[in-house]
Structure 1
Amino acid sequence: MVYQEAVEWLFAQSRAGAPRGLARIRALLQRLGQPEAAFPAVHVIGTNGKGSVVAYLAAAFRAAGEPYGATISPHLLDFRERICTHQGPIPEAEVVRFVEWAQQQRWQEPVAFFDLTTALAFHHFAAVGVRVAAVEAGVGGALDATNALPDVRVTVITNIGEDHLETLGGSLEGVARDKGGAIRTGVPVVTGAEGVGLAVIRAIAAERGAPLYVLSEGSPIFDLPAQPSLRGRFQLQNARLAAAALRLLGYGEPVLSTGLSTAVHPGRMQHLTYQNTPVVLDGAHNPPAVRALVEEFEEFHLVFGAFPRKDYHTMLQTLLPRARSVRYTYAARGALRAEELLQEHPAPYFEHPLEALHHAVGAAQQDGALVLVTGSLYLVGQMLRQLQAQHLASPKKVG
């Protein structure tokens, strides 16, 4: 088996309609010798900003010289981005070995992609001897595979917003209960949640005796010792949450300063130049993320692609008033097609993201505005792949 075959097999695995829960991940981890018990973790939960908080935490662990692990979801260009340590992304050979092992197992319930990926991450972390991990939840909290972690030192709940409503209870209160269900007895909680979501989290934390630190209440624990490296005003909240978690873990101000100012998280407010035109790539994929994103720009030429399970109607209602022009594209397998997107607002549709970008750049060159590519992190990943392929295929200058 080669690496790409292993990744394709992982993505093909599904729980086949079985309910959400921890039974599958626990069975996996038991057969692997309980690797999740080998390291303490920061559990990062929330609707938006999880990956950015993990990026800040990982940069701080690196600044401290700590053997660390970090998980994110989804990835942009390569599956290995989902599982990183102080040694770098997980080696391809280890992914292949794990898949070959998993294919030989027999399970009472079919194990899904995220169960397998989480088990692989924990197994890898234990193998390389990480001393702390920043672990991003997938969907929700209480029933997410990452909640199999036995030694959580800090829980970060970034925010509570309108995403995965059909999975997490159908309302903001239901989303908050599911995410807040991962709060551990006596373990500190750091959150930027507001309104109904905060009320639910506050109640759960009180019931479980978990110290609660709320960003909106202005505690000095959220102070920023340095300018965050990730762009966007919304990133200030993510940086403050990471700073609070790091202080609760006992890290000093020099480590916080270096970590916050050196974090890298591609695909989030990523600026580049294409054909001498400014382009911003951002993986905003739900209404709260899009609302935060549009506050960064007065106007733009829009390239949009999304998935039918997302509230793309509300996302477009937020984006279109500031868009000088619009074009749609196919984000990735399973994404919205032309007939679905064109019901929202008449605009050109492009099968390939790079074609949509080229069309948008043509419009932007007429008025000097930038191009914004958004709607899905998968779209951003596809765009980056096609840009890389174009660069590699371009004739090289000689002499």
Structure 2
Amino acid sequence: MTYNEALSYLYDRLPVFHRVGVSAYKPGLSNVLALCDALGNPQHKFRSIHVAGTNGKGSTSHLLASVYQAAGYRVGLYTSPHLKSFTERIRLNGVAIPEADVAAFVESQQLVIEQIQPSFFEVTVAMAFDFFARQQVDIAIIEVGLGGRLDSTNIITPLVSVITNIGWDHVDILGDTLPLIAAEKGGIVKENVPVVIGEMHPETQPVFEEIADRHRSTIHFADQQWKLTDGGCVDGVRLISCTRAGRINSSFTVELPLLGLYQLSNLKTVLSTVDVMQSQLPVNDEAVEIGCRQVVSLTGLKGRFQYLSQSPAVIADTAHNKPGIEALMATVETITYDRLRLIIGFVRDKDVPAVLSLFPPTAIYYFCQADSVRALPVDELVTLGSAAGLVGNRYPNVNTALDAALAEAGINDLLLITGSTYVVAEINLL
């Protein structure tokens, strides 16, 4: 079986969330447990850090992987979805899993897959765990796919459980209140395993404290343990002064190529996680600085306030829900430009009217849609945009929209592409 044949088999035979949405979601752990049992339970053969959260879990996972790579560890990284290639989901020291390994896994497990009838995501999780076990990683950073309690990744017992934040997303699956969403994401907490919470929030703090107490897990709120001061952007990096709360002479400066202001919250989560793990995975401040500065080259992270070109500036960001767009627009407000041109597309299962209310009516809009059955049709987006006071033209895809924006833009304009991971993934410039 070739790599392309393996991918075709997975896509054609198994339900894929990023293609069909919630109908592909198979809550529960029985399928992935059966898959891993057939593989000799690789999830028990490597150490891990488990990362959940509404927003920021991808950036946090990549930053953690980069820091531990800079410290000299052999690091596995599992994230989803991918932008350009399926192999991006599974990395070893930043290098994507070889296509031959994907093909060999699918071919060897084809009979098991057909017996169990798992989802696409369940198979990729089992593939990742098998790969990390065979590669004998020192640590694997495992990003939750959706939620936490019933997510396929939740069969590991990590060294630390990490929850970046809680916001409104996937309410049809996770619950329609912040405490309910927090309870689902808090389902990754394990007995006697410490938990790092990125942001203390009055509605979710009691939920996390109760979960931690029930599991006899120490709890750490990252935003209470670290003070970060933004020093602005210089030469393509954001300068961030980092100080441990209550510690004298503990400051150092990080140069972060991830320029979104929202990355400060993610960085606090990373720093707290590294502190919690010091006794098991020692890391010095120099490794933190190197890992942060080189996160893009060390892990291949893309699509997080990423500059694709200059004059005019073209930025792509995978923000796709209300908290993510709020954080993104806060960063945009810190940039000087003549005109803001927004190229946007969404999936239909988001609260698009609520998200559109966050965009400025003074911008020029280029409405588009991704090549996915989950995509919100561009005609519907134009109607919703008009109701929100956002005026622009419609385009069949992100690249024709970007071409039109570039043709009309002045050299000092800002072109921002956002709204959906799947829209960003289709950008030719990425």
Q: Tell me, yes or no, whether TM beats 0.5.
A: yes
Give the superposition deviation at 1:86. Answer: 2.2
For 1:221 and 1:207, the matched residues in 2 are separated by 28
Describe the SS at the equivalent of 1:342: helix
For 1:214 and 1:314, the matched residues in 2 are separated by 29
- Asked whether the equivalents of residues 215 and 241 of structure 1 are also in contact (C-alpha less than 8 Å), the reply is yes
- Asked whether the equivalents of residues 321 and 355 of structure 2 are also in contact (C-alpha less than 8 Å), the reply is yes
Aligned residue in 2 for 1:129: 136
Aligned residue in 2 for 1:212: 219
Pairing of 1:130-149 with structure 2 (within 5 A): 130-149=137-156
What amino acid does structure 1 have at the position aligned with 2:188?
A: A
Describe the SS at the equivalent of 1:302: strand
Describe the SS at the equivalent of 1:239: helix
For 2:414 and 2:94, the matched residues in 1 are separated by 37
- Asked whether the equivalents of residues 57 and 143 of structure 2 are also in contact (C-alpha less than 8 Å), the reply is yes
What amino acid does structure 1 have at the position aligned with 2:275?
A: R
Describe the SS at the equivalent of 1:148: coil
Could you tell me the percent identity over the aligned residues?
A: 34
2:393 is the counterpart of 1:353: no
Gaps of 5+ in 2: 17-22, 227-242, 246-250, 334-338, 387-391
Describe the SS at the equivalent of 2:367: strand
Give the superposition deviation at 1:368. Answer: 2.8
Aligned residue in 1 for 2:31: 24
Give the superposition deviation at 1:175. Answer: 1.0
For 1:62 and 1:115, the matched residues in 2 are separated by 27
For 1:155 and 1:106, the matched residues in 2 are separated by 29
Aligned residues: CA RMSD? 2.0
2:286 is the counterpart of 1:254: yes
For 1:211 and 1:201, the matched residues in 2 are separated by 11
Pairing of 1:1-399 with structure 2 (within 5 A): 1-12=1-12, 13-14=14-15, 19-86=26-93, 88-105=95-112, 109-150=116-157, 152-193=158-199, 194-219=201-226, 225-250=253-278, 251-264=283-296, 265-273=301-309, 276-298=311-333, 300-321=340-361, 323-334=362-373, 335-346=375-386, 347-365=392-410, 368-383=412-427, 386-387=428-429
What amino acid does structure 2 have at the position aligned with 1:304?
A: I
Give the superposition deviation at 1:249. Answer: 1.5
Describe the SS at the equivalent of 1:227: strand
- Asked whether the equivalents of residues 282 and 380 of structure 1 are also in contact (C-alpha less than 8 Å), the reply is yes
Describe the SS at the equivalent of 1:195: coil
For 1:102 and 1:78, the matched residues in 2 are separated by 21
Give the superposition deviation at 1:29. Answer: 0.3
For 2:197 and 2:25, the matched residues in 1 are separated by 31
For 1:336 and 1:257, the matched residues in 2 are separated by 40
For 1:290 and 1:157, the matched residues in 2 are separated by 19
Give the superposition deviation at 1:18. Answer: 7.8
For 1:224 and 1:196, the matched residues in 2 are separated by 32
Give the superposition deviation at 1:229. Answer: 2.9
Aligned residue in 1 for 2:238: none
- Asked whether the equivalents of residues 228 and 236 of structure 1 are also in contact (C-alpha less than 8 Å), the reply is no
Bigger CA drift: 121-130 or 219-228? 219-228
Describe the SS at the equivalent of 1:142: coil
For 1:107 and 1:209, the matched residues in 2 are separated by 40
Runs of 4+ with deviation above 4 angstroms: 15-19, 106-109, 219-225
Give the superposition deviation at 1:107. Answer: 5.8
Provide closer, same or farther for how the CA distance between residues 35 and 295 of structure 1 changes in structure 2, counting only shifts above 3 A.
same
- Asked whether the equivalents of residues 221 and 244 of structure 1 are also in contact (C-alpha less than 8 Å), the reply is no
For 1:40 and 1:162, the matched residues in 2 are separated by 31
- Asked whether the equivalents of residues 234 and 292 of structure 1 are also in contact (C-alpha less than 8 Å), the reply is yes
For 1:206 and 1:130, the matched residues in 2 are separated by 31
For 2:418 and 2:384, the matched residues in 1 are separated by 16
Provide closer, same or farther for how the CA distance between residues 160 and 239 of structure 1 changes in structure 2, counting only shifts above 3 A.
same
Provide closer, same or farther for how the CA distance between residues 9 and 199 of structure 1 changes in structure 2, counting only shifts above 3 A.
farther
1:205-241 per-residue CA deviation (whole Å, 9 max, x = no partner) reads 1222211111232456577652333111110111111
1:283-341 per-residue CA deviation (whole Å, 9 max, x = no partner) reads 001000000000112362100011001122211110143x5200111223121112221
Describe the SS at the equivalent of 1:11: helix
For 1:244 and 1:229, the matched residues in 2 are separated by 20
For 2:116 and 2:106, the matched residues in 1 are separated by 17
Describe the SS at the equivalent of 1:243: helix
What amino acid does structure 2 have at the position aligned with 1:333?
A: S
User: Size of the alignment, in residue pairs?
Assistant: 382
For 1:316 and 1:61, the matched residues in 2 are separated by 38
What amino acid does structure 2 have at the position aligned with 1:10?
A: L
Give the superposition deviation at 1:14. Answer: 2.4
